[in-house]
Structures are given as C-alpha cells and as structure tokens.
Homo-oligomer: A and B are copies of this chain.
C-alpha cells in the first residue's frame, strides 16, 4: 500500500521555527471520494507569510490550527479523479499544503492554463502569486512615473526583483536594497536597477542619501524595521508607500513598530497602503496582460531557487530569513509530468 507524507503544525513557534514545531508524518495514501481528486504535489512555494500562518496573531487569514497540515501554495498533478471537472494529468494550483499528496474537492481546484514553452516554475513565481504581488504593489499602489525615484527592499527576492523591473519599464530610477554583493550585482548588472545597497555591508541611510539625492517617491516595502524607517524618512511630497511585507518582524512578537517620525505622513502628504495579492485576484488579467508577454519575450527576468524534497522543508524555510537563496524559493516534491 502506497504512502504519503505531510508536515503537521505541532506547536506555535516562538521566534525562529525550531525542530518540534512541525512534524513530518507518513500516512497511507488517501482515496478520493465522490467529486474529489487526489493530487500529487510537484512544487511547493515557501513564502515569508508561512511564518505568520504558524502564529496565532491577528492576521489576514485564520492561522493554521495545531494538528493541521501546514498551509502552502503548490502546483500539482491530478493522479486520481472522481470529479467531472478534472481528469488525471491535469495540472492544478492552490493551497495544497506541505504535503506530497492531498485530496481536494474538484470544484475547489483551479486548473493551470500554461503558456507554451514556459516551465511550471514560472507559474509558481513570476506568473504566480509573487509576480501578481509585485505588479499590484508597484503598478496599482506605487504607480511610479517616469523620472521618479523608487526604492525596493528585499530587491533580489521573488517579489522585489519583479517589482523593481516593472518600475524600470515605467521610466523610474530604481534603487534596490538586498543582502550581499552577489545579489546587488545581479540587480544592477542583469535586472537594470540604477543602484543597489548591500544592507549587510553598508549604512542604508547613508547609501540612500547618495543614491537618492532627490528623495524617494515610491517605496515598495518588504522588510520593515530599521531599513523601512531609513526609506520612510526620505520619502518625498505625495510619496506612495506600498506595504507588502515586514519579514524583519515575523520572527519577533509580530508587533513591528511603524516609522519613527509619523508626522511625515502629514507633512509630505504620503499615502501608505497595505495590500495582499489575494485582494487583487479578481483583477489578475490586468497584471497578466503585461507579465506574460514580458516573460515570454525575455524582457522581464526572474529566478527560482529549487530545493529538493519535502523532508527538508524546515531548513528551506530558513533561507527566507537568512536570505540564502535567489529569487523565488520552491521545493520540488515530485517530477514534472
């Protein structure tokens, strides 16, 4: 009898995720009931928000309950179907979880309509939630104009690298903040950023003063903490501040402080807007109209880092907090069809 594996949340982590917070269990392969399908996971997405989901702080979705499969975005292939909507071999994506296989109602899964010639990993990154996140945060909230100065934090990450390029396409001057020389070189040499700041070796405030002598019009914020504050305190009149994430705080108590000088919101008439990609799903076609041709033409560059095997998921997750990866972080659980 065949078996499957999944990670179960056993207790809520305090600070960094530690061994014992989640447990990898092996179970008999389940069988789909009427209307259901059995899906084999191919790629699992690891995202900063996973850490939030493990906590019980007030957040945008219910936290994962203790004893439940850890939540995660995945793409998989239907192995057995008792649904009229899906047949074996169909590629589907959704919240499949940290699990080699899962059962789902066939009506609740979205078949993936792949473009010719693009790998599945594109749909887990630049043409998936992270690409949409970048598009809406930059284009709908930041809406940079030609000649404006844009700063992106975690700029070599899955979202930041796309967000920065989208601002470049609109004629803005784009400065990225990332950790390490290799990432900074990638931003300026390969992605066309106008400048990059290595927060591990430079004072971010001093570097911003040098690279953004006319201040900052748009901030795409992924990090929070002192880096966010350095950018905030240089925001220009009518600046836009798209708050996408605050990973710096996710391993803390989840109560990150805001900008030190909040009166700047008033004096500079800033707009700060928090957003989640899921709010924009009904409008995904708008973003895809730019993202798909930009990816297929090679104009928009993207990277994935693929670790192998579900058993290393907890180590892989740490890469998000140490920065030890490039672009979108995925785990491959089984071969592509």
Contact = CB atoms under 8 A, between A and B. Distances in A.
The oligomer's copy count stands at 2
Interface in A116-171: none
Interface string A246-288: 1001000011111111111111111111111001000000000
B265 A255 contact: no
Contact of A272 (B255, B260, B261, B265): B265
A274 B243 CA distance: 16
Given A259-B258, A260-B255, A271 B269 contact: no
A27 interface: no
Contacts of A261: 255-256
A246 B64 CA distance: 39
Contacts of A243: 265-266
Contacts of A254: 263
A216 to B, nearest CB: 15
A294 interface: no
A245 interface: yes
Contacts of A257: 257-258, 260, 262
Contacts of A255: 260-261, 263
Which of A224, A259, A267, A279 has most B Cβ within 10 Å?
A: A267
A262 to B, nearest CB: 3
A263 B276 contact: no
Nearest to A239: B274
B274 A268 contact: yes
20 contacts: A59-B267, A60-B267, A224-B262, A243-B265, A243-B266, A244-B266, A246-B263, A249-B263, A255-B260, A257-B262, A258-B259, A259-B262, A264-B274, A268-B274, A269-B276, A269-B279, A270-B272, A270-B273, A271-B273, A272-B272
Given A60-B269, A270-B273, A271-B273, 16 more contacts: A58-B264, A60-B266, A60-B268, A224-B263, A245-B266, A246-B262, A257-B258, A257-B260, A257-B262, A258-B265, A266-B274, A266-B276, A269-B275, A270-B274, A271-B272, A272-B272
